[in-house]
Amino acid sequence: MSSSVLGRLGAVAIVVAVFCVSLLHGSVSTGAVAKDSVLPASGLPVPRYVSLKSDHVNVRAGPTKDNDVAWVYTRSGLPVEITAEYENWRRVRDSEGSEGWVYHSLLSGRRTAVVTMKNKDDLAPIYESADTTSAVTARLQAGVVAQVKKCGNGWCRVLGNGFEGWIQQQRLWGVYADEQVN
């Protein structure tokens, strides 16, 4: 083989190696999928919100059981955002920005969200209807997790232990701005 062919083969090998390392470390872009690109392992959009299925979820440093457990989630129903996929593993981010890898069967498509407030001492009002002039049925602290039933036009219908009603969508982490949830 000529040196130019060997040089090109070497360059291809380097590109493939860089791609594989990037994939294992989760740094491959998972945004919009081009027409001819490979879909994520699940075939579902990435990023997307899901929730934890169990009250014991190991979060690993990488997408295999050989990777160390970085921490453990101990609250089922907690919302997380899937930011990447590798085979049966999902890289997730929580409301505090922590990221790690979780095995897919520990996640649920059930939608939940965390109440967020600029000032942690403020309370988020839950309204009887999707209208700030309707009656306030509850007030929730930052950090409360609610099941998301429906979202549209800047409002989400949520329910939880002792409350049910409508909250302004901007007060939730676990739904995208202007996302429609049915």
Q: Which residues of 96-133 are buried (b: 16+ CB within 10 A; e: fewer)?
A: eeeebbbbeebbeeebbbbbbeeeeeeebbbbeebeee
Q: Which residues lie closer than 8 Å to 158 by C-beta, 6 or more apart?
A: 113, 126, 146, 147, 148, 149, 164, 165, 166, 167, 172
Per residue in 66-92, pLDDT (tens digit) is 999 999 999 999 999 999 999 999 999
Q: What is the mean pLDDT of residues 106-110?
A: 98
Pairing, β 69-73 against β 89-93: unpaired
The predicted structure's pLDDT at residue 40? 83
pLDDT at 18 over 50: no
Does the pLDDT at position 125 exceed 90?
Answer: yes
Percent of the chain at pLDDT above 70? 79
Mean pLDDT of the chain: 85
Element (H, E) at 158: strand 155-160
Q: Residue 144 and residue 156: Cα distance in Å, rounded?
A: 15
| Nearest alpha-carbon partner for 86 in 119, 58, 64 | 64
Percent with pLDDT over 90 in the chain: 77
Mean pLDDT of the region 39-53: 92
- Min mean pLDDT across 33-47, 133-147, 158-172 is at 33-47
Average pLDDT over residues 34-55: 82
**pLDDT beyond 90 at 9:** no
Lowest mean pLDDT among 1-5, 50-54, 90-94, 159-163: 1-5
Whether 149 shows a pLDDT value over 70: the answer reads yes
Q: How far is CA 132 from CA 19, 127, 129, 159, in A?
A: 50, 7, 8, 18
